[in-house]
Amino acid sequence: MIVRYTSKKSIEEVFQYLYDMQKFAEVHPVIYKIEKKGENHYLFFEKLKFLLFFPYDFTYNVVIKNIEFNKSLQMYSEVQKGVHLNLNFLLQTENNLTIIVETIETKAIIGVKQILEMTVKKAHRKMFENIEID
């Protein structure tokens, strides 16, 4: 799944929100804490609301790789056993705007895959809206 966002922030500012995990947590609507575990290795704490708005808290490891400063980065995680998430962010400048092209790749059983992709898409749309107003 490929999602495209547009930002009035500079490419450098947008990249900092993706690369600096404290900034990432500040603007992300479901990640409430991130702990650094090693070089480009983090533990994400997330809270989602499911059926009847019951909260579901969980943690998972994230590795940041393939970093090209102010241009792109990739996040990889095994969210849960058998559920893998790979996010690729590519940043470009176009008409004084920053264009963010996010590729969401998931590996999970049918049903879970679609729910995960839609959940990430919705959360990241809100995250980029939060970046705009921050």
Which H/E stretch holds residue 90? strand 83-94
Q: What is the pLDDT of residue 54?
A: 75
In DSSP terms, 55 is beta-bridged to: 49
- CATH number for the domain including 66? 3.30.530.20
Averaged pLDDT score across all residues of the chain:
93
Q: With CA atoms as reference, report the closest residue to 7 among 86, 96, 105.
A: 96
- What's the structural domain count of the chain? 1
- What are the residues whose beta carbons fall under 8 Å from the beta carbon of 44, sequence distance 6 or more? 31, 33, 34, 59, 60, 61, 62, 77
Q: What is the pLDDT of residue 115?
A: 87
Range of the domain at 95: 2-133
Residue 51 has pLDDT above 60, yes or no: no
Share of the chain above pLDDT 70, in %: 97
What is the rounded distance in angstroms from the CA atom of residue 14 to the CA atom of residue 12? 6
What is the rounded distance in angstroms from the CA atom of residue 5 to the CA atom of residue 71? 14
> HSE (CB half, 13 Å, CA atoms) of 10?
4
pTM of the model: 0.90
Q: What is the pLDDT of residue 8?
A: 96
The single residue listed with the structure tokens 């993706």 is 18
What SS3 state is found at 128? helix
